[in-house]
Amino acid sequence: MELQLHSRFWPWRAPDGWAAIVAGLAAGALLMVLDLLWPLMFGNGDPWATSHKVAALLLGQQALHSSGFAFGVVATALLIHYTLGAFSGLVVAAAIAALRCEASIAMTQLIGYVFGVVVYFVNFYVLAALFPWFQEMRGEATFLGQLAFGVCVASVYRQLSRARASG
C-alpha cells in the first residue's frame, strides 16, 4: 500500500553541485577556445571580438569601440563567461538529476543538446533585443559553439558525478 501511495510522486534528487560547476567551467573553456579560433581559421575577423561583446554587458558599449586584446576587457569577459558557464552547469545538472538519466550517455547528451539550442535562441534572439550587438553573432558558427557547449557540459557532468558517486 505504501508503495502505491508514493508511486505517482517523483522525488527531487539533488545534482552534484561541484561536478556541475566544474562541468560548466570546462564547457566554458571549450566555448572560449572555439570563439578565439574560428575567426582565425576562417579569416573573418578579430579573435577578441567576442570578448569585447561579452564584456560590454558590464562595461557598457564603450567596450565595443575597441578591438584586439585589452586586459580589462578580456578579464571582464572571462568573469562573465565563466560565471554563466558555472550557472549553466548547475542548470544542466539539475535537469539530468531530475530526469534520473546519469547512466544514459544518449540522454545526457540529448539534454546538453537541447540546452545548447535553448541558450542560443535566448542569447542571440531574446536577449539581443536588450543587447543588440549580439545580433551580428547569429549564425552557424555560434549555433554550433552553443551545441558543443551544451553537450560538453552534460557529458563532463555525467562523468564527474558518476566518478564521485562511485569513489
- DSSP letters spanning 28-59: HHHHHHHHHHHHHHHT-S-TTHHHHHHHHHHH
- The C-alpha cell of 84 is what? 554563466
The answer to whether residue 34 sits within a structural domain is yes
The answer to whether residue 5 sits within a structural domain is no
pLDDT above 90 as % of the chain? 66
- Average pLDDT for residues 134-147, to the nearest whole number? 92
- For the chain, the C-alpha Rg in angstroms (whole number) is 18
Residue 112 belongs to what domain range?
15-166
pLDDT score for 1? 44
Mean pLDDT, rounded, of the chain: 89
The answer to whether residue 1 sits within a structural domain is no
Q: Which residue from 45, 157, 30 is spatially nearest to 92, judged by alpha carbons? A: 157
pLDDT score for 67? 84
pLDDT band per the 50, 70, 90 thresholds, residue 43? low
Q: Which residue from 61, 45, 43 is spatially nearest to 53, judged by alpha carbons? A: 61
CB 96 within 8 A of CB 111: yes
Residue 67 phi, psi (nearest 5): -140, 170
| SS3 label, residue 158 | helix
pLDDT score for 166? 58
The answer to whether residue 116 sits within a structural domain is yes
Instruction: Give the total number of structural domains in the chain.
Output: 1
How many CA atoms lie less than 13 Å away from 24 in the CB half-sphere?
22
The answer to whether residue 2 sits within a structural domain is no
The answer to whether residue 4 sits within a structural domain is no
The answer to whether residue 148 sits within a structural domain is yes
Q: Which residues contact 150 (CB under 8 A, 6 or more apart)?
A: 27, 92, 111, 112, 113, 114, 115, 116, 117, 119
- The C-alpha cell of 95 is what? 535537469
